[in-house]
Amino acid sequence: MVKMVSNINAFALAIGLLKLGCNDYFLLPDYRLAILRWLDESLIWQLFGLCQGKNRAVFSPSEMIDNAFNLGISVLHHAAQDDAVLYAILITLPPCERALWPSVPRLAMNLLERTLCAKFR
């Protein structure tokens, strides 16, 4: 988890994109370009595979990034309740704007962490 410090923003965004649950964000060109500023192509395809895709695109590309990032921060704050290392890492992120406690399956979080940390191995 300590290796995630340099990629914590990307990790929060990726988790938030999963919580938004919209496959269109990964496929439509304007949204994809906005995501590519933060995440690489292989991670975007992994997220597409993990995404349930039950929701429709309701945000503009810039709003989507902001909302996904805020949702991801909320998920990480929820997960940090049981993880002292993650709690310490979260000091580098802005605080939660709202007390949301959405959850993401542990398997998805582990896969994202492993993918984002791969370049440090």
Rg (CA), the chain: 13
Residue 98 pLDDT: 63
Residue 77 pLDDT: 83
Q: Is the pLDDT of residue 107 over 80?
A: no
Selection from 24-28, 75-79, 106-110 with the highest mean pLDDT: 24-28
Q: State how far the Cα of 41 lies from the Cα of 55, in Å rounded to an integer.
A: 22
Higher pLDDT, 41 or 96: 41
Q: Is the pLDDT of residue 38 over 60?
A: yes
Task: Give the number of C-alpha atoms closer than 13 A to the C-alpha of residue 89, restricted to the C-beta side.
Answer: 21
Residue 63: closest CA among 34, 39, 36:
34
**Would you list the DSSP string of 51-64?**
----S---S-HHHH
Q: Is the pLDDT of residue 57 over 50?
A: yes
Least confident among 18-27, 78-87, 106-115: 106-115
The stretch 66-74 carries a mean pLDDT of: 90
Q: Is the pLDDT of residue 4 over 50?
A: yes
Residue 121 pLDDT: 47
- Put simply, whether the predicted model's pTM sits higher than 0.75 gets the answer yes
| Dihedral of alpha carbons 81, 86, 91, 93, sign | negative
